[in-house]
A and B are shown apart, each in its own frame.
Chain A
Amino acid sequence: MTAPYLVVGAGPTGLGCAAELATVHPVELIDRIPVPGGEAGWSSPEITALVKAARRSGVRFRLGNTAVRWEPGRLLVAGPGRIEWLPGHQLFYAGGLRPATAADLSITGDRPAGVLPATVADHLLTAQNRLWHRLAVIGDGPWARAVAVRARAGCSAVIAITPGCDAPEWADEAITQATQIVIVGRDRVRAVRVCAKQQWTEVACDGVVLAASPRPNRNVTGALGEDSPGVAFVQPVDALSVSERSGIGRSTARRWITANNGTE
């Protein structure tokens, strides 16, 4: 019996990819979170429909398992109380996106407390933590608005710092066309120095959230580079809606099937 195809990531992209692959081969869908949906959440009608479609195609769900290491032919996954190797013929990696890091954005200066990736800030704010009084949000990526709205609901003023020309409507203040950013603060962040339109300004703040230009998450050993043997990556960066993402998952799977037809 041939080993199944393994899809890592049960967000919209992975759900679409898995459903399409399952039309030609057994598929197991793996996600570190015990529910499907990824960043899109598990409860929306769109995700529910995608999950149903995947199940109908015969996709086997292995949720609550974190993919750790890929060696051609098998994937190491860690789940509650159990670490195991899963046989896999091919790995499709749909691990989603993360915000750009300080290094991605060439941010220099101090490394104080109070500077957080947007995904982390979102998580802490969702858990009802009040964190700041004056928050600088760097970038206008997919998490920026959610973080800004939650921070403002918790009485923080929000200053947007963005490379774009338009001031985002989710901010109280904005510095646009920012080209260079320096963090200021020894123990806790106290300001951000920004170069915009060839002029430096210092913005006082007590929190900084990195929410710029999303990058693909890559964290499975053996499945990091595009040239990793036995791995295909499905991580659309620009598509935002659930249907766009699942569509890209499906079409990528379809293209892969066509390209590899007869080579199995």
Chain B
Amino acid sequence: MAGQPQFDVVIAGGGVLGAAVAARLSRTSARVALVEAETDLAEGASKGNAGVAVSYYGAPGTQQTQLINASNPGWEALTGRLDVPYRRLGGLMIALNADEEQRLQETLAEVHACGVRGELLTARQIGDTEPLVSERAVAGLLLPDEGVIDPMRLTISFARLAAANGVRIRLGERVLGIEHDGDLSSVITSRGRLETRFVVNAAGVEADRVSALAGGETLRTWPRKGQYVVLDRAFGQKLTKIVFSTHTPQTKGSNVVPTTHGSVLLGPTALDIEDRDDRATDSETVAWILDNARRLVPATADAYIMKTFAANRPAGDEAHRLRTDARQPRLLHVTDRSAGVSVSPAAAELALTLLRAAGLDASDRDGALDALPRVPRLRTSADPVALTDADPRYGQVVCLCEHVTAAEISAALAGPVAATSVDGVRKRTGAAYGRCQGSLCLAGISFLTAMSTGQGPASVSQTARGTVGS
């Protein structure tokens, strides 16, 4: 077929937004590829975030708020279909003094203006709602529709669904150039040339580079580093609400967040930096995070610290950007600094609408998959005794802290978008997330990953970028 390109859409970026767009487009007639520079999905902000699917994030009337509103009611159904851990826990924003109480009132007005449920609580009501919150709290704002989600599982599940529906997921492939010839574009990558009609720029902090390569607008993006502290499940099981700092005009603040794994995440901090590969923690910031968390939830002082880490979110001159490029009508930008997870389902829908408006021929397909098979988990199973009937490898516990079995790890190492590194297994299963941080299981996971990828335990990838041995 002369003049017919290989793809209708090439998506640059395998974070939560790129993967969500891929999953949505996969249920249409469009032919789609997703290219990601790293060797796994969710290697940027989609890996390093607090794991909150928010109900409220900012001013009413913005596109970001509309997308959050449109996404929020559907989380239970979506995460059920995609086998992603999610819990609508509700959040509690805490005022510790009169100033913060004043700001809480303003936030409540904005929450209501956004059409989001929110209720002001007295100090006594806070104690009844979440007894672990500081007794010094003078007021609280209950946001019942805040939820916690596993952002890596969400990203990978979006991509798995997309792949199952025929989207080509191309990992370890960096976009080096984008050429235009009439209605056609060629995305030149480190591994080849992809001809396409449309390009979706979901490259996160690299969005400026992709836009420049495509001859699009001059975007300004930079990394905003956030540091986090992870607390043990023994403490996490006591905390029933997400506890937020009161917002200030400058920052949303550092929070105390139960995770879907049962641990508790403290953070993030926010520091604009230049070096896109700087993900280092430092002891002063870690100490600040712990102090801040103790102001909100004093019992965090006694909790066991499992891990500290840092990650960069894609800051820029636009915190949220979902629109067609002003210069290149077949280039669509889809990036969000902090709310990528929270907007992702509706953002993907809007991306499809905008692509269709720009001329993409994409009709919804009958028979396209909209769900993934569920992989039962030993740790959370209500009927663990029955698990070995389906797969005897459920009897082989590899990660002792998180009770991840060989059956779960084998599922992560198989199928579309399989894990190819120890970290890839970790992201898909939660193995090595526990208090021993892999002391008992990393050897086993290395052996299983090496067997699956045909490498030796020394040459197998530990992270997306580095091997176990040197």
A114 to B277, CA, bound (A): 17
A99 to B443, CA, bound (A): 14
Whether B400 lies near A217 (C-beta < 8 A) is: yes
Is B458's beta carbon under 8 Å from chain A?
Answer: yes
* Known pairs A68-B403, A102-B307, A124-B458; A109 contacts B280 (CB<8 A): yes
- Separation in Å of the A103 CB from the closest CB of chain B? 5
Chain A residues contacting B281 (CB-CB under 8 Å) are 108-109
Whether B440 lies near A79 (C-beta < 8 A) is: no
Q: Mask for B388-429, Cβ within 8 A of A = 1, else 0?
A: 100010111100110101000000000000000000000000
Is A153's beta carbon under 8 Å from chain B?
Answer: no
Chain B residues contacting A188 (CB-CB under 8 Å) are 465-467, 470
A82 to B446, CA, bound (A): 24
Whether B396 lies near A80 (C-beta < 8 A) is: yes
The stretch of B81-89, B203-211, B430-438 in contact with A is: B430-438
Measured as residues with beta carbon below 8 angstroms from the partner, the interface class of chain B is 35 or more
A81 contacts which of B388, B446, B458 (Cβ < 8 Å)? B388
Chain A residues contacting B73 (CB-CB under 8 Å) are none
Whether A218 lies near B435 (C-beta < 8 A) is: yes
Chain A residues contacting B442 (CB-CB under 8 Å) are 116-117, 120
A82 to B396, CA, bound (A): 9
Chain B residues contacting A201 (CB-CB under 8 Å) are none
Measured as residues with beta carbon below 8 angstroms from the partner, the interface class of chain A is 35 or more
Chain A residues contacting B435 (CB-CB under 8 Å) are 101, 218-219
Is B151's beta carbon under 8 Å from chain A?
Answer: no
Is B279's beta carbon under 8 Å from chain A?
Answer: yes
Chain A residues contacting B434 (CB-CB under 8 Å) are 219
A110 contacts which of B279, B385, B456, B469 (Cβ < 8 Å)? B279
Whether A120 lies near B283 (C-beta < 8 A) is: no
Q: Mask for A116-132, Cβ within 8 A of B = 1, else 0?
A: 11111001100101111
CB contacts under 8 Å to B, within A186-235, are 186-189, 206-207, 217-219, 221, 224-225
Other A-B pairs, 16, CB within 8 Å; known A188-B467, A189-B466: A80-B396, A83-B384, A99-B439, A101-B307, A103-B230, A106-B286, A108-B280, A108-B282, A114-B468, A120-B439, A120-B442, A124-B458, A127-B457, A187-B465, A206-B470, A221-B403
**B residues touching A (Cβ–Cβ < 8 Å)?**
230, 233-234, 277, 279-283, 286, 305-309, 378-379, 384-385, 387-388, 392, 394-397, 400-401, 403, 405, 434-440, 442-443, 446, 456-458, 461-463, 465-470
Q: Mind listing 23 A-B residue pairs with CB under 8 Å?
A: A32-B397, A32-B400, A66-B397, A78-B397, A82-B392, A101-B306, A101-B307, A101-B436, A102-B437, A104-B305, A108-B308, A109-B280, A109-B281, A113-B465, A114-B462, A114-B468, A117-B436, A120-B442, A124-B443, A124-B469, A187-B463, A189-B466, A224-B234
**A residues touching B (Cβ–Cβ < 8 Å)?**
32, 66, 68-69, 76, 78-85, 98-99, 101-104, 106, 108-114, 116-120, 123-124, 127, 129-133, 180, 182, 186-189, 206-207, 217-219, 221, 224-225
